[in-house]
Structure 1
Amino acid sequence: MRAPIGSFDNPRPAPDCLDQLVPPVADAVRNWTGDVPADQLIYVDTDPAIADTADFVAHHGEELLRQSANCVLVAGKRAGESTIAACVVLSHTRADVNGVVRKHLGARKASFASREAATGQTGMEYGGITPVGLPADWPVLVDSAVVDTPWVLIGSGRRRGKLIVPGKAFAVLPGAVVLEGLGV
């Protein structure tokens, strides 16, 4: 099998690599439904030392920058209540936390979730968080540019490994809301 983007050794359908995924991501892949078949989610093994976007594209090629997405967790607060949402934006942009995200959540204040909250509530490693397998009651805010990208490279839930996913699959994740202008 050849990866649809990038040049990776041994890309494989994610359902064949469940043992390489953290439990919530493996469960999401195992129970995948929707228009995009689960075997179109591709797992590629990568070096955890270069998991951060800048290091990753420096090693694997700058062309991946426009085909990669980041998933960041944001805590929106209003009247003492906090809501955590995932934001999925292309890697060459950043999530508009204080504009689009804050307004969508109806929050007075929005900020990045703490490392402890991000890892503790997701079961994923910091620096590898993915929207695949997040708690079903969390909003997953997806920039429309991600959905419009044919293939998107994103974390696998661990710093080692990435998923390559058809962009349109992000629109049907549990809790997904596609927003224009989320990535600025």
Structure 2
Amino acid sequence: MLTMNDIVRDGHPVLRKVAEEVPMPPSQEDKAVLESLIEYVKNSQDPEVAQKHGLRPGIGLAAPQINVSKRMIAVHVTDEKDNLLSHALFNPKIISHSVERSYLAAGEGCLSVDESIPGFVPRYARVTVKGVDLEGNEVKLRLKGLPAIVFQHEIDHLNGIMFYDHINKQDPYAEVPDAKPVER
């Protein structure tokens, strides 16, 4: 079981590398890594398990965050209608996105970043993501709101991009053109 000690922190070189594609079909080792990512995110949202194992709550995790430079992400989040989106994907890709932007009104955080970094993180309001699940099925997801933001955050990790790279350095709370704030 993954713990906070398995998560690399900001400044670790793996977080700035472009992760490798996972060869299909995935190896047992790659499947085990992806299973451990989704397990961490689910466990971190269970207050009892999180407290017992000292897990910081998260809604997404990417393989580079546990020092595995491969294109794998796990997301466990509810949308604005309280539908649960729980996905563990190999080689996720954004295949289309809206012109309209959005951002989390409260700002973003990251399990690899211990301090709070204030500011708006501009994202696409809607994205379509394609990837392969643990059973080897191709998955295509149309996302908006918080789930769209979380998938973009995790896919950024696969490209060596941190959320704060998107924040306006001169004015962290500058209005984002054509963007709607998303409340958590």
TM-score normalised according to structure 1 size: 0.29
More helix by share: 1
